[in-house]
Amino acid sequence: MTKIKFLSLLLIIVVLLSFPIYSNLSNLPKTWTLKEFQNQELKWRNCYGNFECSTLLAPVNYDKNTGDVFHLKVIRYNATDQRHKLGALVVNPGGPGASAFDYAYNAENIVSAAIREKYDIVGFDQRGVGQSDPIRCLTDKETDEMLAGPMIADTPENQRKMVENAKSFASKCKKAAGEKLTHLSTLESAKDMEILRLALDEPKLNYLGKSYGTYLGTLYASLYPSKVGKIILDGAIDPSISIQEQNLTQARGFDLALAQFLAKSKIQQNSILKLLSNASTNPIKTETDRSLTDSLVITGIASGLYGDATGWPRLKKAISEAISGNGTKLLELSDGYSGRTKDGKYFSNENDAATLISCLDWPSRKTVEEMRSTSELFRSTAPIFGPYLIYSQLDCNYLSPSKNANPFNFNPISTYPILIISVTRDPATPYEWGLALSKKFPGSFFLTLDSDGHTGQGRGFSCIDREVDSFLINRNRYSSKVCNSK
Specify the pLDDT at position 416: 75
Query: Do 19 and 131 contact (CB within 8 A), yes or no?
Result: yes
Cα–Cα distance measured from residue 398 to residue 371, given in angstroms and rounded to the nearest whole number:
15
DSSP class of 46: E
Phi, psi values for residue 443, rounded to 5°: -90, 10
Q: Which helix (H) or strand (E) holds 398?
A: none
Specify the pLDDT at position 401: 62
Written in H, E and C, the secondary structure of 14-35 is: CCCCCCCCCHHHHHCCCCCCHH
Query: Do 60 and 183 contact (CB within 8 A), yes or no?
Result: yes
Buried b (16+ CB within 10 A) or exposed e, 144-164: bebbbebbbbeeeebbeebbe
Query: Do 95 and 129 contact (CB within 8 A), yes or no?
Result: yes
Phi, psi values for residue 283, rounded to 5°: -50, 140
Residue 223's CB is within 10 A of a number of other CB atoms, namely: 15
Query: Do 231 and 217 contact (CB within 8 A), yes or no?
Result: yes
Q: Which residues contact 257 (CB under 8 A, 6 or more apart)?
A: 305, 425, 426, 427, 452
Query: Do 185 and 405 contact (CB within 8 A), yes or no?
Result: yes
Which residues pair with residue 419 across a beta bridge? 232, 445
Cα–Cα distance measured from residue 276 to residue 297, given in angstroms and rounded to the nearest whole number:
7
Question: Diameter of the chain by CA atoms?
Answer: 66
Cα–Cα distance measured from residue 381 to residue 106, given in angstroms and rounded to the nearest whole number:
38
Instruction: Give the pairing type, strands 228-234 and 445-452.
Output: unpaired
Cα–Cα distance measured from residue 62 to residue 33, given in angstroms and rounded to the nearest whole number:
10
Query: Do 214 and 233 contact (CB within 8 A), yes or no?
Result: yes
Query: Do 423 and 454 contact (CB within 8 A), yes or no?
Result: yes
Buried b (16+ CB within 10 A) or exposed e, 331-359: bbbbbbbbbbeeeeebbbbbbbbbbbbbb
DSSP class of 125: P
Q: Of the candidates 241, 221, 210, 213, which has an alpha carbon nearest to the alpha carbon of residue 423?
A: 210
Cα–Cα distance measured from residue 447 to residue 237, given in angstroms and rounded to the nearest whole number:
14
Cα–Cα distance measured from residue 307 to residue 459, given in angstroms and rounded to the nearest whole number:
9
Relative orientation angle of helices 243-265 and 311-323, to the nearest 10 degrees: 80
Cα–Cα distance measured from residue 220 to residue 229, given in angstroms and rounded to the nearest whole number:
11
> Residue 270 carries which side chain, given as an amino acid letter?
N
Radius of gyration for the alpha carbons in the chain, expressed in angstroms and rounded: 22
Cα–Cα distance measured from residue 351 to residue 147, given in angstroms and rounded to the nearest whole number:
9
325: left (phi over 0), alpha (psi -120 to 50) or beta: left
CA 285 remoteness from chain centre:
30
For the chain, give the number of residues: 486
Specify the pLDDT at position 444: 92
Task: Say how many CA atoms lie within 13 Å of 15 toward its Cβ.
Answer: 18
Q: What is the value of pTM for the model shown?
A: 0.91
Specify the pLDDT at position 30: 60
Which residues pair with residue 71 across a beta bridge? 57
Q: In the chain, which stretches have pLDDT less than 50?
A: 1-27, 402, 404
Q: Which helix (H) or strand (E) holds 283?
A: none
